[in-house]
Structure 1
Amino acid sequence: MSVFRSNDLMLLVERYMTPEETSKVYEAFLLAADAHDGVFRADKITPYITHPLEVAHSLALLHLDADTIAAALLHDVIEDTDYTKADITAQFGETVAELVEGVTKLHLSDELCSKEAVTKASFRKMMQAMTKDFRVVLIKLSDRLHNMKTLGNMQPHKRRRIAHETSTTYVALARRMGMNDIRRQLQWLSFQNLYSWRSEILQRALDHYITANEEKHRQIFDSVSDALLASIPTSNTSPWEKNLFRVYEQCRRKKVRFRQQCDLLEISVQVGEIAECYQALGVIHSMFRPRMGMVKDFIASPRAYGFQALQTTVTAPSGQVVSFQIQTRDMFQMAQHGLVAQWRYPDMRSMHKQEYTQAVFDDWVKQVKDFDSHAQNPDEFYADMQADMFQTEIYAYTPQGDVKELPRGATLLDFAYAVHTEVGHHCIGAKVDGQELPLRSRVPNNMATIEILTDKNAHPQVVWLNFVKTSRAYAYIRSWLRQHDLLQDSSEEGSVGQKLSVGIVIDVRDVKGMLRQITKCMDGLDVNIVDLKISGEGRVKQDTFTLQVDDTGHLQEVMRQLKHIPNVLNVSKLTK
């Protein structure tokens, strides 16, 4: 089998590499085959060399260069065999050796005495290598993708551990690299291995839904396709395959039934030029009624990882909700493959888009370096990176018109640090669309314009660590406080989004719907309810809540808001 796969790889690279480059790839295969000779995969049948071959083949399909393909073939050699980095350098050069070293995991030692410690330290090492050469991450993602496809022969607990690590780290990493094709595959494979029964049920439900609605969807699709072709002859319209993992997550987040979330026809539209994207949007809106607040322009304001598209959600006359994503062909390819698209599609006309994506990536590399320099250990770095990569985006503007991307629940203090570190360090308040608000207020999800108010004599406070949401803000505040000896004990630091547990007693009239009003108020103030006890007889009840709040200031605001609810008689802090 390995002979056939090596032939497939060589035939593939010969199509776009020079004879010298092809020879380098073949030499790498020979060394890898020798190094892994007699070693088998988890099934005890498949030769191990098939794994690096599959990793290299997937990268060759994207037309990656010879050094990357050679490193993919050799990516487990230093880690698992007697070959050293010096051996690889001598035969293939420093670049290949650095790429292989970058993806080589660390081993258990006196300093790294658990698998978790090894994982976090190895991740930091890989990201440090990525800041020098991003191809390290490309190899690692392809390596992880093939491993996820071949988990079947492992014991269940090992499958779940690897799937969990993939979902919590590598899915987000692929997304941050703009490699959405790999991200979707990793997402679904993780979901299948973590929740096999749920994934099967969801897949059957989706298949049933598609069959039952096939004719209705085809009519809508054909009418849109015909209208767009009449207006833009070079347009291409295609149904968008549902991401079942995303459907499942949205059902959980929105607390809706699978059918409600599934009942959405998604269509991709590709055109040649940017102007045609807006032309296509006009055609669609002339056919269907757009839904309020559901038109998003990520061409004018690209996402943090370089994604560009027009998105709109409309309602067809039949009542069917339809979501459209409109892109140029270059935008579509960049959205699927990120920076890798420059190898796979070298004749891309939209060079400014490629340059923009490179600039976005360069900014992220700078941020990774910042996290690394401010983190005292792999645990801190790993936590900061995970918080950064798993952002669920909301957008806001500076007064100069620059767009900033933040996670849901981010505060105005987070926005200040997104503008600039020094702006964050010296901020004293903010104006949201002209209205002055405290720094702990959330950034609204309506593309607001935010002006940060500063004072040169202001500086970070320890309490800020309790309510910032972004790892960037947390890392810079923590670093400043350490430099100025204001964190005397590590227990003062907590973690991003740390909460304070506290009890309160609410005296209320026994009126129907009171509990719902109280919990709704708390939810709006970002309060976690840990426990509730109801006592008292007659017309007055005592509701004793155990809450998680950001700090004492947050608690005071919660109590003040609760006192304004009709039929609330008194709100007091529970004394021990």
Structure 2
Amino acid sequence: MLRINELIEAAQAYLPAEDVDLIHRAYLLAAAVHEGQQRASGEPYITHPIEVARILAGFHMDGACLAAAVLHDVVEDTPATFDQIQRQFGEEVAMLVDGVTKLGQVHFETHEEAQAENFRKMLLAMSQDLRVIIIKLADRLHNMRTLDYLSENKRRRVGRETLEIFAPIASRLGLNRIKNELEDLSFKHLYPVRYRVLSEQVRKERGNRAHITDRIEAAIARDLEEAGLDADVIGREKHLYSIYRKMRSKGLSFEEVQDIYAFRILVEDVPTCYQVMGRVHNLFKPIPGRFKDYIAIPKANGYQSLHTVVVNPFGGVMEFQIRSREMHEVAEAGVAAHWKYKEKGVTSPDRRKLEQSYAWLQQLLQIQQEAGDSAEFLEHVKVDLFPDEVYVFTHKGEILRLPRGATPVDFAYAVHTEIGHQCVGARINGRITSLRTPLRNGDRVEILTDPDHQPNSSWLHFVVTGKARSAIRHFLQTQQREKSVALGRGMLERTMEGVGVPFAEVPDSALREAAEHFHLQSREALFEAIGRGTVLAPAVVQHLFPGYLDRDLRVAGALGGEEAEAVDRGNGNVLVRGMEGIVANLARCCYPIPRDEIVGFISVGRGVMVHRKDCPNLHELAHHPEKWVDVDWAPETKGAFPVAIQAVVQNTKGVLAGMASAIAEDGANIDNVLVEDRDGVYKTIALTLEVEGRDHLAQIMRIMRGLGAVERIVRKKG
């Protein structure tokens, strides 16, 4: 009961009595249904949802959010139902529990496709109510705090997904307090030795520098007091993962990282922030280029503060962050700060942050709709989750925030998708520049457009924003789709002409039914699939007119002379993809045998003919793509297969008998022999053998090369 009492006390400090009662009733239900369940640590399971709610109470989240946090596992792990939650606690709490429950059913994997699909689910949940993801982040934070009780493999897996997905989302939503702790805990479980070594170094350095930081803090506080400025001066230590990340990115040793300690100065309002900045620069020498004004130009997640790096009296460097107290609350709590002010019944000072977060989510939703697949979507999202920003101006003087390395094309798409599509050039600071030019802070950018211009696929090599990349790909895919639809329709028409059925006589209903058969949504999707080669035109014709290939085979059987001899049944050794049950025939022009690379071709009167990929006759067939089909050898082949070889041998007595003996001893038959004299010294022997496949043929040719009279032996292509 101790922990629930602490939660209730924390809630009573800022919530009305009816909300506190809601949280207590949620606890009573959760404690009853979780009765007997334990965590990996051996503690009662109910301790986990209570701790999650306590984390959220630290951000002054509203009563519905805390009640949902207490109940967040009951639907998934106990007999309690969504309807029960809805009846007892109302629609709002039930909706939050349902959102968190659905996220709880997501299990991240290292496979990119699964990771992307899971991120889609998180995105959709966030877009409905940001409190869903805030609860999920608190849930993940408490799980990370108690991760020691799990196996090493699971600790590493959970640590990696936390570092790659949850911490960046917390950062993007401005929840820096959660983000920092998630990163440090992930670092601990992913790289335990590095974590221990770095922790020990920081601990030692803390003792060494304590007197220095105390003296600097006292000097600043005294100076601000003398100037009549009300300010709180707080010395702080950078969190471990940020130190480790800086060491890795810049190739530094721990001793070379000078700004491990920083100072934060909190004041009452914005004008005082700039006054304090002036006092700091009077006390300590600022380092040029290391001043950043995030008050005038906030970060993408709404963060505001003045940052400056100065040289301290002892020769080292240190960072100062100067912000108002309201900015500090927002910097630590991010979007969660909105609910704190909502509970007080006043307008949130950071309503803009909430609006920015929803705007970011809407942009990601647009990218999701345009992305071709999950991996592509994740690629765009990661660009937005890990921004290193530049700030540029439109020709009207408006500020645009873009990732570092962004180009005029990224800028154009940030203004509007159509501006991006029609972009033909750019002026940067009044000068015409290349579309590849990286933008720098303070650049004034004007985009030159042409209504008849279209995106170029080469742009994908240099754009960096997810919005630009997804919009370009979406345009190109749409354009390619139109071409594929036209190509596929033409291929189907020509294939139908081959069986004597005019395309115009095939009803739309039959084409729609054929599309459903191939798991496609419409006849246009069917044409596109044919054009892209994922569905074969002959397979569609076979579905529309069953037996038409069998009819061709019957015709072939009625032919005489050379036509009949040109067909050799595959006897199930060759599979025709998308046309199951169709018998393929081996072409005698190139004699394909098992393990050869092969292709199929619809031949009028002969059915599906199988050729080697290097068959010379394929050049004549290249102008009829609608007749090509995908074929492959069956996993197990049986029988003997004809193959043609040619040997140049010395014109000596008994050479043919020696070759025939070697072939017979290796289990092959000679089907045909043709001997041709060349110059009296050598002669050419062409043989048609029956072999089991490429391995068998290679073995026979090795044996024959060992015969003294054989100068050269090759397999004939056709």
Task: With the length of structure 2 as denominator, give the TM-score of the two structures.
Answer: 0.63
Question: What does the per-residue CA deviation read over 1:532-572, in whole Å, with 9 as the maximum and x for residues that have no partner?
Answer: xxxxxxxxxxxxxxxxxxxxxxxxxxxxxxxxxxxxxxxxx
Match of 2:278 in 1: 282
Whole-Å separation in 2 of the counterparts to 1:113 and 1:145: 19
3-state DSSP of counterpart to 2:289: strand
Matched, 1:217 2:225: no
Question: Which of 462, 466, 469 is residue 474 of structure 1 equivalent to?
Answer: 469
Counterparts of residues 23-102 of structure 1 (less than 5 Å): 23-43=21-41, 45-102=42-99
Q: Residues 330 and 36 (structure 1 numbering): CA distance in 2 closer, same or farther, change over 3 Å?
A: same
Whole-Å separation in 2 of the counterparts to 1:434 and 1:115: 46
Bigger mean CA offset, 340-349 vs 456-465? 340-349
Q: How far apart are residue 300 of structure 1 and its match? A: 0.9
Whole-Å separation in 2 of the counterparts to 1:309 and 1:90: 45
3-state DSSP of counterpart to 1:131: helix
Match of 1:524 in 2: none
Contact 2:180 2:239 in 1 (8 A): yes
Whole-Å separation in 2 of the counterparts to 1:393 and 1:263: 21
Whole-Å separation in 1 of the counterparts to 2:385 and 2:295: 22
Q: Residues 397 and 258 (structure 1 numbering): CA distance in 2 closer, same or farther, change over 3 Å?
A: farther
Question: What does the per-residue CA deviation read over 1:457-505, in whole Å, with 9 as the maximum and x for residues that have no partner?
Answer: 2221222223222212112222222233369699xxxxxxxxxxxxxxx
Matched, 1:191 2:183: no
Contact 1:206 1:262 in 2 (8 A): no
Greater gyration radius: 2
Q: How far apart are residue 346 of structure 1 and its match? A: 6.3
Match of 1:451 in 2: 446
Q: How far apart are residue 134 of structure 1 and its match? A: 0.9
Bigger mean CA offset, 405-414 vs 419-428? 405-414
Q: Residues 22 and 317 (structure 1 numbering): CA distance in 2 closer, same or farther, change over 3 Å?
A: closer
Counterparts of residues 338-487 of structure 1 (less than 5 Å): 338-344=334-340, 353-375=349-371, 378-444=374-440, 446-485=441-480
Q: How far apart are residue 406 of structure 1 and its match? A: 2.5
Contact 1:171 1:183 in 2 (8 A): yes
Match of 1:248 in 2: 244
Whole-Å separation in 1 of the counterparts to 2:231 and 2:180: 25
In the alignment, residue 362 of structure 2 is paired with which amino acid? Answer: K
Q: How far apart are residue 264 of structure 1 and its match? A: 5.0
Q: Residues 209 and 12 (structure 1 numbering): CA distance in 2 closer, same or farther, change over 3 Å?
A: closer
User: RCO (CA 8 Å, sep 6+): is it higher in 1 or 2?
Assistant: 1
Q: Residues 122 and 26 (structure 1 numbering): CA distance in 2 closer, same or farther, change over 3 Å?
A: farther
Q: How far apart are residue 90 of structure 1 and its match? A: 2.3
Match of 1:505 in 2: none
Q: Which runs of 5+ in 1 are unaligned?
A: 491-576
Contact 2:109 2:115 in 1 (8 A): no
Whole-Å separation in 2 of the counterparts to 1:199 and 1:181: 19
Match of 2:8 in 1: 10
3-state DSSP of counterpart to 1:294: coil
Contact 2:23 2:66 in 1 (8 A): yes
Whole-Å separation in 1 of the counterparts to 2:132 and 2:417: 29
Q: How far apart are residue 114 of structure 1 and its match? A: 9.5
Match of 2:222 in 1: 226
Q: Residues 36 and 386 (structure 1 numbering): CA distance in 2 closer, same or farther, change over 3 Å?
A: farther
Q: How far apart are residue 209 of structure 1 and its match? A: 1.9
Question: What does the per-residue CA deviation read over 1:435-477, in whole Å, with 9 as the maximum and x for residues that have no partner?
Answer: 3322222223x33222222222222122222322221211222
Match of 1:504 in 2: none
Q: How far apart are residue 293 of structure 1 and its match? A: 1.1
Q: How far apart are residue 22 of structure 1 and its match? A: 2.4
3-state DSSP of counterpart to 2:427: strand
Whole-Å separation in 2 of the counterparts to 1:37 and 1:352: 40
Q: How far apart are residue 166 of structure 1 and its match? A: 0.4
Task: With the length of structure 1 as denominator, give the TM-score of the two structures.
Answer: 0.78
Q: Which runs of 5+ in 2 are unaligned?
A: 485-527, 530-718
3-state DSSP of counterpart to 2:295: coil
In the alignment, residue 91 of structure 2 is paired with which amino acid? Answer: E
% identical aligned pairs? 38
- Aligned-pair Cα RMSD in Å: 2.8
Contact 1:106 1:118 in 2 (8 A): no
Question: What does the per-residue CA deviation read over 1:42-95, in whole Å, with 9 as the maximum and x for residues that have no partner?
Answer: 23x111111111111111222222211111111122222333322322222222
Contact 1:371 1:384 in 2 (8 A): yes
Q: Residues 74 and 219 (structure 1 numbering): CA distance in 2 closer, same or farther, change over 3 Å?
A: same
Question: Which of 323, 327, 333 is residue 331 of structure 1 equivalent to?
Answer: 327
Whole-Å separation in 1 of the counterparts to 2:186 and 2:88: 37
Q: Residues 185 and 406 (structure 1 numbering): CA distance in 2 closer, same or farther, change over 3 Å?
A: same
Q: Residues 417 and 25 (structure 1 numbering): CA distance in 2 closer, same or farther, change over 3 Å?
A: same
Match of 1:552 in 2: none
3-state DSSP of counterpart to 2:202: helix
Match of 1:134 in 2: 130
Q: How far apart are residue 140 of structure 1 and its match? A: 0.6
Contact 2:258 2:317 in 1 (8 A): no
